[in-house]
Amino acid sequence: MLVDNLHEVQYNIKIACEKAGRKQEEVTLITVSKTKPISMIEQLYEVGIRKFGENKVQDLIDKYEAMQKDIEWHMIGHLQRNKVKYIVDKVAMIHSVDSLRLAEEISKEAVKKQLTVSILIEVNVAGEQTKFGYAIDETEEAVRLFSKLPGLRVKGLMTSAPYVVDPEENRKYFRSLRQLCVDINSKNIDNVCMDSLSMGMTNDYIVAIEEGATLVRVGTAIFGERNYNK
């Protein structure tokens, strides 16, 4: 089941890349294992999956401890500053950096541990009240400020598009995130070369790939529905 689902998602990614005239290597699948048990992560590990996304610090740490050390863990959820110190040395990338104070904390902990932490700036492209992230017109300023912080590398932008039934409705948001990335790169800000766009989830990863996603974060299509009442 699990592995069949994975193969289906991988196949869809391949087709979406072909359709969009993109190389398959340009798109990286992050399998979002949040709320799912180690046993399922192990099954995916066995078939070669090495990149997992988690949105809670404690779960990320527990899974990090339990699993092989060649796994890349991606922090994709809202991160509290007081928890940064527990994960900076365990994550391959933090996708969800949504404030200067958080970026400063990551920088501080990275310097302390002599690391360079790869981060993405979260953008609230649709301006949803309930979501974290910078507004489109605040993002360039954030990039400028973050790029001056030691121990931290701004690799690109991330967004979670609205929940919609028809993924076509999100195409405009993916397109604006990509355009924003292109615009900011064209400013030649010192220390900034943003080549990552983390966008697209179960419902809309195909459209996101067509619009330039380099990282897609897919959970439900691989692991099945999440049960939060356990």
Ligand X SMILES: *Cc1c(COP(=O)(O)O)cnc(C)c1O
Binding positions for ligand X, rule: CB under 6 A: 32, 34, 55, 76-77, 160, 201-203, 217-221
Residue number, 63 or 217, with CB nearest to ligand X: 217
State in angstroms the smallest separation of the CB of 226 from ligand X: 7
Residue number, 192 or 218, with CB nearest to ligand X: 218
53-70 exposure pattern, b = at least 16 Cβ within 10 A, e = fewer: bbbbbeebbebbeebeee
The CB-nearest residue to ligand X is 219
φ, ψ of residue 95 to 5 degrees: the values are -85, -20
State in angstroms the smallest separation of the CB of 141 from ligand X: 23
State in angstroms the smallest separation of the CB of 222 from ligand X: 8
Residue number, 191 or 220, with CB nearest to ligand X: 220
**What's the rounded Cα separation, in Å, for the pair 9 and 51?**
14
Beta strands in the chain (DSSP E): 28-32, 51-54, 72-75, 93-97, 117-122, 152-158, 196-198, 215-218
State in angstroms the smallest separation of the CB of 7 from ligand X: 16
Tokens of 148: 């001056």
Residue number, 108 or 196, with CB nearest to ligand X: 196
